Structure 1
Amino acid sequence: MTAPESVAVSAEEASQSARLYKLTNKNAMEVVVTNYGAIITSILTPDRDGKIGDVALGHRNAVEYIEAEEKPYLGALVGRVGNRIAKGVFSLGGKEYSLAINNGENHLHGGEVGFDKVLWKVESADTQSIRMSYLSKHLEEGYPGNLNVTVTYTLTDENSLIVDYVATTDQATPVNLTQHTYFNLAGEGTGNVLDHEVMLNADRFTPIDERLIPTGELRAVADSPFDFTSPKTIGRDINADDEQLKRANGFDHNWVLNKGVDATELTLAAVVYEPTTGRLLTVSTTEPGVQFYTGNFLSGKLIGKTGKAYAHRGGFCLETQHFPDSPNQPSFPSTVLKPGDTYQSQTVFAFSAR
């Protein structure tokens, strides 16, 4: 089966139909979301002195996301399947499905017109929460089944941003939703993130081949640049003489969280600290993995919402997820959603300062 052509939202349509929705709490924290791509456009949070700053890379409005020369999924909700699928092909129920190819020879982040490039329907919105839905039709970008997806963003008075995903389908299909915000806890457009200190709650990661596809191995991080079990700066090992780092041009790998791979409880994934501002980001998730990406393909050409260039490695992502290429990796936790079942996933981004 060949993927049908999907049509992205035009700038004209976005200017008419896309809106910005502001979530606020009692601590003057603010999160702005648009129904275009369910994108998080900004996150304003206090530093150790109470000074509010925007820690999310992004644009001012939907039109800027559409017209930007580079489109690295800033703040996007990614789906139907986040990350890469080898050669854009998988088999399910005895049938082979061909997906859109948009990353070398691979399928990436839902294809040419993934969930980040469509208009979502706002089901409800108030000062601290917004719920949006999208119907991904059968064979959209090549995926089988009509998939109904709902995402809810909730900003709590404890300075946590909770992301809840729910999905149902009328035909078996892979689903792997994630959030692709680029963080710079010193402030968006404030240089690179190499001095951020990171802890990842993972003793293993999934190494990749030359195509950036997991080999199927779950490799121990011990005695390697991929060991973030104790906090260390992003920059300490990012340029190490390591084949995995060279293949990805830095960190762009999936870490296997320290939990049962089929467990669904909320588990600590990562803690990130920025020493100049004291900002601290703690990420917890029900997902079995997290893709830690260090903005390796940001080039400095992309200009953000405040007119600042986004430098090489000017942001990091913590994409909570099932493992990349899971539809082709039977040893990985399954991403297949079946009719009658409900896909549910939650990730919590908790902000504080010290």
Structure 2
Amino acid sequence: MSSIRTIALTSAAAIITLSGAALAADAEREVFGTLEDGTEIEAVLLSNDDGVTARVITLGATLQSLQTPDKRGTVDDIVLGHDTPAEYLATPQYLGATIGRFANRIGDATFSLDGTEYTLEANDGDNHLHGGVTGFDKLVWTITDVSEDDDGAASVTMSLTSPDGAGGYPGTVEASVTYMLDDDGTLTIDHRATTDKTTIINMTNHSYFNLSGHKDMRPIVSHDLMIPASAYTPVDSGLIPTGEIRDVAGTPFDFREPMRIGARLRNGNDEQIMLGLGYDHNFVLDEGDEDMRLAARLTAAVTGRMIEIYTDQPAVQFYSGNFLDGTTPGKGGILYRQGDGLCLEPQVYPDAPNKPDFPSARLEPGEEYVHVMKIKTGVTK
């Protein structure tokens, strides 16, 4: 059962673009900071005429800032992040980072391919999380393109080489991420990878959203969330999927209609909520007619801000920021606490390499892994 969207290298699909009128987005390259060893971390600021800006830094190919207007036209930052490169390396929260090689968890930090067992770095108890100790989020990516096009979009492409054996994974992987902001306020994130040896790939973006913004941050428990998923994957005590695909009906995991996040977040009668310390679960998206499906819609009544997440992947992880404990330094001197942000991460299922009935994360030489996701920003009417 395959889910990785791959294409033959002889007919590579073009980056998705959205049409617009006149040129209405700009891209500016700047210095974000330096690491202790003197390595310079660059940033590219993408902006459009409606006040939407996205700053992407080369450390972790990370979305460091996403500024959007609220219903009154006040612009504020709606993603969590850090002000310096050092803070990104000092904290394990993956704020806005590109995750790879495999997003989410792999049980017992092992998996097999064609009879060969591979041992990964165990960095989440006995399990493997988000690519291991030195995943894509902790590496410095190279800017390969910064451009503005005639359709009103601005973009930056970053790339890296992950050598054979990195983190325990087989194959040398060439990875790239393109961030593109259009004149409608949609941020497209296009993940791609190739390999010289059969391997597994599951890349995503790990942004934490808070639609109240940084200037007057309110807990995300007051946000309303809709996820068009009729099922989810329950987990064990290590947050590894058990293999069951469970119906959301009659459970705190039913977000098929907009639901206030805080309404069931502390449901002590639900074992899965207790195991996850809230929501930290994979939602199986309902199938649609289009390649790009709606994965989630998040709204904040106070500011009127809204985002919609679209993806070509089969699932989305909803994480309610349960491990933010007040020790993570955020932008502007804020200490991020539980409830300050949530993640909506399109993906294949967690532990897919060890669950034959789950969609496959396998990537072969001669194929190209493609994961396109979109963050559509706006305000509610």
Aligned mates of 1:231, 1:28 — CA distance in 2: 27
Counterpart in 1 of 2:351? 325
Specify every segment of 5 or more residues in structure 1 that has no aligned partner in the other structure, as ranges. Answer: 1-9
Counterpart in 2 of 1:117? 138
Q: How much has 1:307 moved relative to structure 2? A: 1.1
Counterpart in 1 of 2:258? 231
Whether 2:375 is the aligned partner of 1:311: answer: no
Q: 1:45 aligns with which of 68, 82, 85?
A: 68
Cα deviation 1:143-187 (Å, max 9, x = unaligned): 000011111000111000000011111101010001000000001
Whether 2:125 is the aligned partner of 1:104: answer: yes
Aligned mates of 1:254, 1:279 — CA distance in 2: 25
Aligned mates of 2:186, 2:121 — CA distance in 1: 35
Return the letter of the residue paired with 1:25.
Answer: N
Whether 2:305 is the aligned partner of 1:279: answer: yes
Counterpart in 2 of 1:72? 93
Paired residues of 2:87 and 2:329 also in contact (CA < 8 A): no
Output aligned runs, 1:197-346, within 5 Å.
Answer: 197-240=224-267, 241-259=269-287, 265-346=291-372
Secondary structure class of the residue paired with 1:131: strand
Return the letter of the residue paired with 2:85.
Answer: A
Aligned mates of 1:170, 1:93 — CA distance in 2: 16
Paired residues of 1:11 and 1:66 also in contact (CA < 8 A): no
Whether 2:156 is the aligned partner of 1:135: answer: no
Paired residues of 2:236 and 2:242 also in contact (CA < 8 A): yes
Return the letter of the residue paired with 1:108.
Answer: L
Counterpart in 2 of 1:183? 209
Secondary structure class of the residue paired with 1:235: helix
Q: Between Structure 1 and Structure 2, which shows a larger proportion of strand residues?
A: 2
TM-score (norm 2): 0.87
Paired residues of 1:192 and 1:311 also in contact (CA < 8 A): no
Secondary structure class of the residue paired with 2:102: coil
Q: How much has 1:126 moved relative to structure 2? A: 3.3
Aligned mates of 2:170, 2:257 — CA distance in 1: 42
Counterpart in 1 of 2:13? none
User: Identity over the aligned pairs, expressed in percent?
Assistant: 42
Secondary structure class of the residue paired with 1:112: coil
Aligned mates of 2:364, 2:354 — CA distance in 1: 17
Aligned mates of 1:203, 1:274 — CA distance in 2: 23
TM-score (norm 1): 0.94
Secondary structure class of the residue paired with 2:187: strand
Aligned mates of 1:349, 1:305 — CA distance in 2: 21
Specify every segment of 5 or more residues in structure 2 that has no aligned partner in the other structure, as ranges. Answer: 1-33, 149-153
Secondary structure class of the residue paired with 1:187: coil
Aligned mates of 1:96, 1:17 — CA distance in 2: 38
Paired residues of 2:35 and 2:41 also in contact (CA < 8 A): no
Q: 2:36 aligns with which of 4, 9, 12?
A: 12
Paired residues of 1:279 and 1:352 also in contact (CA < 8 A): yes
Q: How much has 1:264 moved relative to structure 2? A: 7.9
Return the letter of the residue paired with 2:209.
Answer: F
Report the more deviating stretch, 277-286 or 300-309.
300-309
Cα deviation 1:276-296 (Å, max 9, x = unaligned): 000001111000000000000
Paired residues of 1:264 and 1:287 also in contact (CA < 8 A): no
Return the letter of the residue paired with 2:272.
Answer: Q
Cα deviation 1:63-89 (Å, max 9, x = unaligned): 22123xx32110010000000000100
Number of residue equivalences:
340
Which consecutive segments of 4 or more residues in structure 1 shift more than 3 A? none
Q: How much has 1:192 moved relative to structure 2? A: 1.6
Whether 2:49 is the aligned partner of 1:26: answer: yes
Aligned mates of 2:158, 2:328 — CA distance in 1: 28
Counterpart in 2 of 1:196? 223
**RMSD (CA atoms):** 1.4
Aligned mates of 1:142, 1:324 — CA distance in 2: 17
Report the more deviating stretch, 289-298 or 184-193.
184-193
Paired residues of 1:297 and 1:313 also in contact (CA < 8 A): no
Whether 2:115 is the aligned partner of 1:94: answer: yes
Aligned mates of 1:20, 1:303 — CA distance in 2: 20
Aligned mates of 1:36, 1:187 — CA distance in 2: 23
